[in-house]
Copies of this chain bind each other. A is one copy, B any other.
Amino acid sequence: MRAHVLKAALQAIEDVGFERLRVKDIADRAGMSTGHVLYYFGSRDRLLVSTLLLSEADLDERRGAELDGLPPEAALARLVELYLPTSAQDVRWRLWAQVIAKPPSDAGTLARLDGFFRSWAAELAGIARRLSPGLDADDFAVRHCRLMDGLASDVLLGTGDAARARATALAAMRRELATAGRSS
């Protein structure tokens, strides 16, 4: 039910774009009235946060399924692709930008958002551990996820392009994995 609205929200963003998105666009696509949508979610902002949570949960699942069987080097490259925005219009990242600009005050929601970050970091740490056992994989993972966050904001701004962001992130990771290998 809530999920149905959230799917409609994602569709609406695809259709009308993030800038022009009204809650009516979402309500129409979900086959209900604006009042009803707000009855469920309380406010437009909270609806968008929920949409981000859905989007992250989806990706979390797909990531697990997809990276599971891959050799670590390929998994690393794929994780970077999945994490970073595909373009300045990337819906998931536009939602992140929105949420960071207007952070929810609700502690539970913040915890869930943080949980998704940690999930990414844990996945990256697992790969790093396989590639370079001597490394402090958790620290490595957190730092490089944050690096990708920074690169993502560059892409969202329109200053950098997605391909360069991916290349930069991968190069940074490989360099550190390599030097760690040398020193061990």
Select the stretch in A7-15, A62-70, A98-106 that faces chain B. A98-106
CB-CB nearest in chain B for A152: B150
By beta carbon, the residue of chain B nearest A118 is: B159
Name the prevailing secondary structure of the A interface residues: helix
Closest approach, in angstroms, between the C-beta of A90 and any C-beta of chain B? 12
Query: How many copies of this chain does one complex carry?
Result: 2
Q: Does A113 contact B (CB under 8 A)?
A: yes
Contact A159 B110 (CB under 8 A): yes
Kindly state the separation between the CA atoms of A103 and B153 in the bound complex, as whole angstroms: 10
CB of A88 within 8 A of CB of B103, answer yes
A158-177 at interface with B (beta carbon < 8 Å): 158-159, 168, 172
> At the interface, yes or no: A114 with Cβ under 8 Å from chain B?
yes
Q: Is the CB of B101 within 8 A of A97?
A: yes
Q: Mark A94-126, 1 if CB is under 8 A from B, else 0.
A: 100111111101000010011001000000000
The residue from B113, B142, B182, B183 contacting A157, defined by CB atoms under 8 A apart: B113
